[in-house]
């Protein structure tokens, strides 16, 4: 009989409504890569005993055999490929596996940032995967902070390849420049471990604007930029009284769009963004805010 003792830190259930309303600013489905390539900035590491790289985290085609599983095929979520790791990652002669998949480093997180991904694992044997964040983007193990554990209990062959979505609210890490890590760690691969599949990794959030304050405004408003005149950076504040699509664009005096400061679904709140005119010539420019039932335009002056 297989006996495993786990200490699982349970996170409070996240309210799903509202968390996925933000625009997607990074999406990775691994379709452009193979077993010899990783997305730009992604890497793998391991701790402790050497691991079997053949079965380590790699992009694999759906329908091909999983390393170490003679009759099981790689699964993907609504696509052709997924990131896959199997129990056979434990090197010959050792029963432990501690394999890390580390993402690229992201720019400063917006205050409504959300991480979402799909994962599947387990079957006959128990499997688990831990999720970590390195707030500074460092790749040292000591820099990673625990976020969540996914567990697939053994003894259920029917759950093999059944993907479920995980959503993690990153508001507490607003302004950080993080990396994320997926840790496949099984204490005894002679007794536990099967295969884990990761797919459709996405970062959501309103990039380019910052929410200021926690109150909800009573009406739409586009404020005058400050400073004005400016050289070369100025700030623009605007108010959104209800959730919906909002566009904020800058035009030259010919009516041509020279910059899109924001374009996407926006939760109700007070916002601020910056406009950098360092690549433009001196002159008069206009910025316009548009929502479903609101449009306003204001003038600003760039002086170099």
Share of the chain above pLDDT 70, in %: 92
31 pLDDT more than 50 = yes
pLDDT for 22: 73
What pLDDT is attached to residue 21? 67
Residues with Cβ within 8 Å of 49's Cβ and at least 6 positions away in sequence, in order, are: 90, 91, 94, 96, 98
Q: Give 181 or 211, the one with higher predicted confidence.
A: 181
Give me the pLDDT at residue 248, please: 93
State the Cα–Cα distance between residues 301 and 206, nearest whole angstrom.
27
| pLDDT-derived band at 173, boundaries 50, 70, 90 | very high
Per-residue pLDDT at 18: 54
Residue bearing the bigger pLDDT, 151 or 110: 151
How do the domains of the chain map onto residue ranges?
24-204, 210-302
76-131 pLDDT, tens digit per residue, is 999 999 999 999 998 766 778 899 999 999 887 887 899 999 999 977 888 999 99
Residues contacting 188, CB < 8 A, separation 6+: 4, 95, 96
What is the helix (H) or strand (E) element at residue 261, kind and residue range? Answer: strand 257-266
pLDDT at residue 191, rounded to an integer: 76
Give the chain's radius of gyration (CA, Å).
24
Mean pLDDT computed over every residue of the chain: 88
Phi and psi at residue 157, to the nearest 5°:
-65, -15
> C-alpha dihedral over 20, 21, 27, 28, to 10 degrees?
20
User: Is the distance from CB of 154 to CB of 129 less than 8 angstroms?
Assistant: no
b (16+ CB within 10 A) / e for 78-101 = eeebbbbbbbbbbbeeeebbbbbb
State the pLDDT at residue 267.
84
How many other C-beta atoms are found inside a 10 Å radius of the C-beta of residue 73? 15
What is the structure's pLDDT at 2? Answer: 34
pLDDT in tens, 239-287: 999 988 899 999 999 999 998 888 877 889 999 999 989 889 999 999 9
Q: Per-residue pLDDT for 48 more than 70?
A: yes
| CATH number listed for the domain at residues 24-204 | 2.60.120.200
- The answer to whether the Cα torsion of 250, 252, 256, 259 is positive or negative is negative
Question: What CATH number has the domain spanning 210-302?
Answer: 2.60.40.1930
- pLDDT number for residue 205: 83
């Amino acid at each position: 009989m297989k006996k495993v003792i786990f200490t699982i830190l349970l996170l409070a259930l996240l309210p799903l409504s509202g968390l996925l309303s933000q625009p997607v600013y990074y999406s990775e489905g691994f379709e452009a890569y193979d077993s010899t390539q990783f997305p730009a900035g992604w890497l793998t590491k391991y701790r402790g005993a050497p691991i079997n790289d053949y079965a380590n985290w790699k992009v694999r085609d759906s329908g091909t055999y999983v390393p170490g599983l003679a009759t099981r095929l790689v699964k993907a979520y609504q696509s052709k490929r997924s990131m896959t790791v199997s129990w056979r990652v434990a090197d010959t002669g050792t029963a432990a596996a501690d394999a890390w998949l580390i993402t690229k480093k992201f720019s400063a997180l917006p205050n409504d940032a959300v991480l979402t991904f799909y994962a599947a694992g387990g079957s006959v044997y128990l499997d688990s995967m831990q999720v970590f964040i390195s707030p500074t983007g460092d790749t040292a193990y000591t820099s990673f902070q625990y976020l969540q554990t996914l567990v697939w209990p053994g003894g259920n062959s029917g759950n093999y390849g059944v993907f479920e979505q995980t959503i993690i609210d990153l508001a507490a890490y607003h302004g950080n420049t993080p990396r994320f890590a997926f840790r496949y760690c099984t204490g005894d691969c002679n007794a536990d471990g099967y295969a884990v599949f990761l797919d459709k990794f996405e970062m959501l959030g309103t990039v380019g604007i910052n929410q200021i304050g926690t109150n909800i405004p009573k009406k739409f408003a586009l404020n005058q930029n400050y400073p004005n005149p400016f050289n070369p950076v100025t700030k623009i504040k605007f108010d959104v009284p209800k959730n919906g699509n909002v566009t904020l664009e800058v035009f030259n005096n010919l009516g041509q769009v020279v910059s899109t400061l924001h374009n996407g679904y926006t939760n109700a709140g007070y916002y601020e963004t910056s406009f950098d005119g360092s690549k433009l010539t001196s002159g008069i420019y206009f910025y316009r805010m548009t929502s479903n039932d609101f449009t306003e335009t204001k003038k600003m002056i760039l002086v170099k």
